[in-house]
Amino acid sequence: MATDTNFETSRGEGGETHQQVPAKGPHGGVDHLTTDQGIPVSDNQNSLKPGVRGPTLLEDFVLREKIFHFDHERIAERIVHARGSGAHGFFELYEPLPDITKADLFQRKGEKTPVFVRFSTVAGGAGSVDTPRDVRGFAVKFYTKQGNWDLVGNNIPVFFIQDAIKFPDLVHAVKMEADRAYPQAGSAHDTFWDWASLMPEATHMLMWAMSDRAIPRSLRMMQGFGIHTFRLVNEAGKSTFVKFHWRPKLGMQSLVWDEALKLQAADNDYHRRDLFETIAAGHFPEWELGLQLFDDKFAESLPYDVLDSTKLIPEEILPLKIVGRMVLDRNPDNFFAETEQVAFCPANIVPGVDFTNDPLLQGRLFSYLDTQKSRLGTANFHQLPINAPKCPVMNFQRDGQMQMNVPKGRANYEPNSLAASGEPGGPRECPVTGFRTFAHQAGEEEQGDKLRARGELFADHYSQARLFWKSQTPSEQAHIASAFVFELSKVQLEQVPPRMVGNLMNVDADLANRVAAGLGIVLPNKNPPARKPIDLDPSPSLSIHRNMLDTIEGRQIGIMIAAGSDAKAISDLIDSLTAAGATPFIVAPKVGGTKLSDGNTIQADGQLLGSPSQLFDAVAVILSKEGAAMLVKEGAAVQWVMDAFGHLKAIGYDEPAKPLLDKAGIQPDAGVVGLSAFVGAAGKRYWNREPHIRMLA
Ligand code: HDE
């Protein structure tokens, strides 16, 4: 029987009932369901049959089209960075930079350029978890008035390899192993460490990857880097080297390793949810764009090569020039259409930005367009709304699969003289606005024998790894050493851990010692370095702990309550947390409603079992005597405070809640406070607590 979408309820032939919510639309107040051909669909519940109990007819084009489209819904996932989360926003320029670059987006103070940003993990598939130990992608598409500029970076300022030719090996080694297809989204396995230990150039990046940088608390709380040295070029053709940095307004914050592991169980989508929900709530994440600008003379004065992506330039040597801010203020309307189909490419630059000869960058310039052709299926993927420039696109590229444009006339070649006879002749080159000025390249760089070789200073694989190690706090160093132990302890190839520790001997003997001791292996000899490392001054700006903000702004604070909890204490705490820019989250044994001391009922945001404390940045426990007596017998409640303590978070409590803390074995310290001191204490992690509760390497 046909159904009418105007009806609230439709009844199928078999008599079953389906609730229909009529949508508002232009035709009689209802948007009619149609096929892809625009043909009205009368019944979206029943396929077409001869008789009520008859076989489904092949002629049912509504069914066939629907299933056909569904069968093809998935597209190939990205070979790396498959799992990502995106958001729209804008970049706002603080001061014009005409002396440095002619790029249009850097010319007018206060001008806003729309952006789309995609953050990603690297190794895992699209359906993997958000908090593995991994590098995070940080890709920004600027829709400028002169075309799209993609700054396709990561949250770590250096990379594993120096030359693009090694990239497929790196990715094969880190992804799940070829025969067994595990582990997913993790580097703690044989093939990765086999490869990494044979690649001394990866050592600096490995130090970062084993540090807390690789387990960010939130995508909103991590830095971003363009990594390579690029060039900015001004109107006169003068070029300046540049390294791009993104600085999060909320400060950097990372997870404790045990917390990261437990988050994988508590919420696979932890980062994605955090980004989406905070933007939806109007708390827009923000980053500042910083530039490290330098010339050839400065580059030559450095003891490392600026074309080598395994090296950084410490801010203490070359401070950042902050030039603008980026705000993410709008969630995608559709994940697939935008976050999945977005195609970033380092080769997308605008006049005023230019490449360098970094051999890693040069390889990337080829790879992205190539992979996107196979991922998105057609050379016309730039026409998808998320990829389309927000300025005119006019050229003689034609046809191809999924061509969306309908060019008019005969002009599909250039030069042409069709205009002379009154026909449209199409666009022409534009020497004034286009890539008229390229960066000047020193002649000798482009000449000489054809070689498969690298610059001499590329052979220094350890000086900056050592610089990074020396720049960390003792607690951060312990995390790095422990992460090496964790990862290498998963390696079953006997030859690998000693080889890796032999490389670490070149970084720091204490580090190597601690890793060897943690693994229970004999300390190996130093692997001879290709070039003798030099001692560089530490760079405190590379430490997260030294640079964290003491704030709860943008953080989520868990408040555990139960029947009879002090109503005023709860509402006072909610008020003061909200005033400080945090989001309170009430956790209770029952989600439906909890009766408080004043007889009123409060709705919880989450039920205890589904809202473990790793979801929060700090926690408070407000309980009545009876509530505490009940919860000391509930493992999830005991675990809740135990984990908050173990993850070095502030814990606020009122007196009746004390038995729960005692049951969880919580020792008083500066981070375990009464409710009145809680807001002041909640903006920190208590690193000093760690040696008392965990054996670190
Ligand atoms: Fe990528 N990288 N990459 N990469 N990369 C891709 O492009 C590649 C590198 C980065 O959210 C792929 O569309 C090569 C460094 C991000 O869509 C692929 C080399 C940095 C993203 C590719 C590198 C990055 C990608 C896979 C060595 C930081 C995700 C899907 C020369 C500066 C972008 C795709 C998004 C994605 C190739 C190294 C960042 C295969 C060959 C260094 C953030 O083309």
Q: What is the DSSP-derived secondary structure letter of residue 339? A: I
| Residue 414: φ, ψ to 5° | -150, 135
Please report the pLDDT score of residue 437 as a whole number: 56
- Give the position, in ligand 1's atom list, of the atom nearest the Cα of 82: 30
58: domain CATH number is: 4.10.91.20
- Pocket probe mutation, ligand 1, options 75, 167, 364, max atoms within 8 Å of Cβ: 364
User: Does 118 carry a binding-site annotation?
Assistant: yes
Q: Which of 73, 93, 117 is the endpoint of a domain?
A: 73
Same domain, 604 and 685: yes
Provide the residue count of the chain: 697
Distance CA 685, CA 546 (A): 12
- From residue 621, alpha-carbon distances to 199, 487, 606, 614 in Å are 49, 35, 14, 15
For residue 542, the tally of other CB atoms under 10 A from its CB is 25
- Give the position, in ligand 1's atom list, of the atom nearest the Cα of 367: 44
User: Does 231 carry a binding-site annotation?
Assistant: no
Same domain, 607 and 591: yes
Please report the pLDDT score of residue 467 as a whole number: 98
In a domain, 612, yes or no: yes
User: Does 247 carry a binding-site annotation?
Assistant: no
pTM, whole model, 2 decimals?
0.94
Same domain, 541 and 557: no
- From residue 632, alpha-carbon distances to 76, 587, 612, 621, 663 in Å are 49, 16, 16, 12, 7
Please tell me the total count of domains within the chain. Answer: 5
In a domain, 193, yes or no: no
Q: Say whether 27 is catalytic.
A: no
User: Does 375 carry a binding-site annotation?
Assistant: yes
243 lines ligand 1 (CB under 6 A): no
The domain of 255 spans 84-188+214-383
- From residue 57, alpha-carbon distances to 47, 61, 63, 68, 91 in Å are 8, 9, 9, 15, 55
Q: Which residues contact 173 (CB under 8 A, 6 or more apart)?
A: 191, 192, 194, 195, 196
User: Does 368 carry a binding-site annotation?
Assistant: yes
Nearest CA to ligand 1 atom 29: 81
Q: Which of 34, 52, 73 is the endpoint of a domain?
A: 73
Same domain, 57 and 102: no
In a domain, 390, yes or no: no
118 lines ligand 1 (CB under 6 A): yes
Catalytic residue selected from 148, 154, 506, 527: 154
- The rounded average pLDDT for each run of 10 residues, N- to C-terminus, in the chain (697 residues) is 36 45 56 94 97 96 96 96 98 98 97 98 97 98 97 98 98 98 97 98 98 98 98 93 98 98 96 98 98 97 98 98 98 98 97 95 96 96 98 95 95 96 92 65 69 95 98 98 98 98 98 98 98 97 97 98 98 98 97 95 96 98 98 98 98 98 97 98 97 95
Q: In what order do the strands lie in the sheet with 672-674?
A: 606-607, 583-588, 556-560, 618-621, 651-653, 672-674
- Give the position, in ligand 1's atom list, of the atom nearest the Cα of 80: 26
Distance of CA 501 to the CA centre of its chain: 30
Task: Tell me, in angstroms, the distance from the centre of ligand 1 to residue 173's CA.
Answer: 16
603: domain CATH number is: 3.40.50.880
What six digits make up the tokens of 558?
């868990």
Contact 420, 426 (CB under 8 A): no
Same domain, 23 and 43: yes
What six digits make up the tokens of 123?
């190794």
Task: Tell me, in angstroms, the distance from the centre of ligand 1 to residue 620's CA.
Answer: 41
639 lines ligand 1 (CB under 6 A): no
Q: Which of 42, 73, 104 is the endpoint of a domain?
A: 73
**Three-class SS of residue 257?**
helix
Q: Looking at 539-606, list the stretches that DSSP marks H as alpha helix, in order from N- to C-terminal side.
A: 567-579
Q: Say whether 81 is catalytic.
A: yes
Please report the pLDDT score of residue 21 as a whole number: 53
For residue 462, the tally of other CB atoms under 10 A from its CB is 27
Q: What is the ipTM score, two decimals?
A: 0.95
In a domain, 205, yes or no: no
Nearest CA-CA partner of 500 in 465, 543, 454 = 465
372 lines ligand 1 (CB under 6 A): yes
Burial 636-655 (b: 16+ CB within 10 A, else e): bbbbbbbbbbbbbbbbbbbe
Same domain, 62 and 157: no
Find the radius of gyration of the CA atoms of the chain.
29
Same domain, 520 and 585: no
79 lines ligand 1 (CB under 6 A): yes
The alpha carbon torsion through 143, 144, 149, 155 (nearest 10 deg) reads -70
164 lines ligand 1 (CB under 6 A): yes
Same domain, 542 and 556: no
Task: Tell me, in angstroms, the distance from the centre of ligand 1 to residue 167's CA.
Answer: 10
Same domain, 96 and 54: no
Same domain, 533 and 559: no
Containing 298, the helix (H) or strand (E) segment is helix 296-301
81 lines ligand 1 (CB under 6 A): yes
Distance CA 121, CA 421 (A): 56
Same domain, 425 and 326: no
Same domain, 629 and 672: yes
Nearest CA-CA partner of 424 in 406, 411, 405, 407 = 411
Nearest CA to ligand 1 atom 14: 364
In a domain, 669, yes or no: yes
Please report the pLDDT score of residue 431 as a whole number: 77
524: domain CATH number is: 1.20.1370.20
In a domain, 623, yes or no: yes
Contact 89, 249 (CB under 8 A): no
Q: What is the DSSP-derived secondary structure letter of residue 220? A: G
In a domain, 467, yes or no: yes
- From residue 602, alpha-carbon distances to 173, 582, 597, 613 in Å are 52, 19, 11, 20
| Residue 685: φ, ψ to 5° | -105, 145
In a domain, 308, yes or no: yes
